[in-house]
Amino acid sequence: MPRNIQNGQNKWKFTTYRDWCSGFWPGELWYLYESTHNKKWLSEADKFTRHLTPIASEPGFDHDLGFQLFNSFGNGYRLTKNPEYKAVILKAADSLATLFNPKIGTILSWPQNVKRMGWPHNTIIDNMINLELLFWASKNGGPKRLCEIASAHAKTTMKNHFRPDYSAYHVVVYDTITGKKIKGITHQGYSDSSMWARGQAWAIYGYTMCYRETKDPQFLHFAQKVAGIYLAKLPADMVPYWDFNAPNIPNESRDASAAAITASALLELSTFVKDKSQARLYRQKAEQMLNALSSAQYQSRDVNSAALLHSTGHHPNGSEIDASIIYADYYYLEALVRLKKLQVGKRLCQNL
């Protein structure tokens, strides 16, 4: 599966089906099929999706099952209603649910970091996206407790994962005995007190999705709060630096992936808020983000075969800095598909 094209290069670096990014490429192919109705994309999407089948049968190894199997099999089932896809999704949801700790109220994100980092129970903001797998499964043949797990995770995260200004920590570490929060820290952001751009984007997207799935107004309210600080601190071109508090702004790497994720989320959020002026604002900001990403500065065009340039993966680790990254392309394409639907007066149906 394609993962990234490093800055200055023009060839994809590939990874195995077990990589957390493995679901984004088949997900892109499904969006291409949806947009064009070209059977070529259907064939390719099915082929690459099926490569991920073994993951669903493995014991839950981390939270990324949603990224891997919902973007692939989920989009595939939405468009084809293939019962084989549905079976994989339901199995994956059951696997993800095994990582839920009821004492704490969240899913364990990184089991490997319990001993490696000394984080007894760790939950990362990225995990909000994987809750969609549980919500969907609970409505499509899986047990209702999957919805309860997803809602509990979202509410616990809402309580513990955010600072008073609604900026998100990347990681929250919990005590497995008391169930209480030990600390909030960063892993891929600049510092424990900074606002990591992609983490905030995950929060905007995640709570918008939670409202869609539950219609619980507290999730809609919170999505607007976490979107508010993100929008307030954006640079003029609407594409954030990799961390809003990085020390050398404006000489810091941008993160086009965060812009793409947020643009897609804001398009959906604009359809939920009742205040028409606020809805217009979210739609306008999303379109401005997409216009920026579609400009010669950020769209790859003849530079390489990705869709976007200038994303940042793990800056503190020196990984994927100012690169083309597959998940940036996925959310960019998703946002364009959503915008196209809105422009022709179609409702944004549930993703799956």
Residue 189: which of 67, 317, 323, 19 has the closest Cα? 317
Which burial class, exposed, middle or buried, applies to 264 when counting CB atoms under 10 A from its CB (0-12, 13-18, 19+)? buried
Average pLDDT over residues 291-304: 97
pLDDT tens-digit map of 86-130: 999 999 999 999 999 999 999 999 998 998 899 999 999 999 999
Write the pLDDT tens digit of every residue in 254-289. Answer: 999 999 999 999 999 999 999 999 999 999 999 999
Phi-psi bin for 238: left (phi > 0), alpha (psi -120 to 50), beta? left
Return the active site residues: 64, 126
pLDDT at 312 over 90: yes
- pTM above 0.95? yes
Average pLDDT over every residue of 325-346: 96
Instruction: Output the pLDDT for position 348.
Output: 84
Q: What is the mean pLDDT of residues 189-206?
A: 98
Terminal Cα distance for the chain, rounded? 23
Res 350: pLDDT:
53
Is the pLDDT confidence value at 352 over 60? no
Sign of CA dihedral 98, 99, 103, 105: negative
230-246 pLDDT, tens per residue?
Answer: 999 999 999 999 999 99
Residue range 180-190, pLDDT digits in tens: 999 999 999 99
